[in-house]
A and B are shown apart, each in its own frame.
Chain A
Amino acid sequence: MFERFTDAARATVNGAQTEARQLRQHHIGTEHLLLALLRPGPDTGLAHNLLTATGLRHDQVAADVTRLADATEPLGAADAAALEAIGIDLEAVKAKLEENFGPGALTPPSPPARRGLFGRRRATPTSPGHIPFTPRAKVVLELSLREALRLKHRHIGTEHILLGLIREGRGLAARILTDHGIDLPDLRTRTEQAAAGTKTA
Chain B
Amino acid sequence: MSDATKLAAAAGSTDPGTGLRAVLALRRLLETLEVLQVGNARRAGWSWQDIADALEVSRQAVHKKHAARWPEPDRREK
Query: Taking the complex as formed, is B44 at the interface, i.e. its CB lies under 8 A from any CB of chain A?
Result: no
Give the number of residue pairs across the A-B interface with Cβ within 8 Å: 76
Flag if B69 contacts A112 (CB, 8 Å). Answer: yes
Chain A interface: which size bin?
20 to 34
Query: Once the chains are docked, how many angstroms separate the CA of A71 from the CA of B3?
Result: 10
Q: How many residues of B contact A (CB 8 A)?
A: 23
Query: Once the chains are docked, how many angstroms separate the CA of A105 from the CA of B40?
Result: 11
Query: B40-76: contact bitstring with A at CB < 8 Å (1 yes, 0 no)?
Result: 1000000000000000000000000000110000000
Query: Once the chains are docked, how many angstroms separate the CA of A84 from the CA of B68?
Result: 33
What chain A residues lie within 8 Å of B7 (beta carbons)?
81-82, 84-85
8 A Cβ contacts from A70-104 to B = 71, 74-75, 77-88, 90, 93, 97, 101
Residue from the list A74, A80, A115 in contact with B4, Cβ < 8 A: A80
Flag if B36 contacts A108 (CB, 8 Å). Answer: no
What chain B residues lie within 8 Å of A88 (beta carbons)?
26, 29
Flag if A93 contacts B29 (CB, 8 Å). Answer: yes
Residue from the list B22, B33, B69 in contact with A86, Cβ < 8 A: B22
Known: A80-B4, A84-B8. A115 touches B68 (CB 8 A): yes
Given contacts A87-B11, A105-B36, A109-B32, 16 further A-B contacts (CB under 8 A): A75-B32, A78-B25, A80-B4, A82-B21, A82-B24, A82-B25, A84-B11, A85-B8, A85-B18, A85-B21, A86-B22, A90-B25, A90-B29, A106-B29, A109-B31, A113-B68
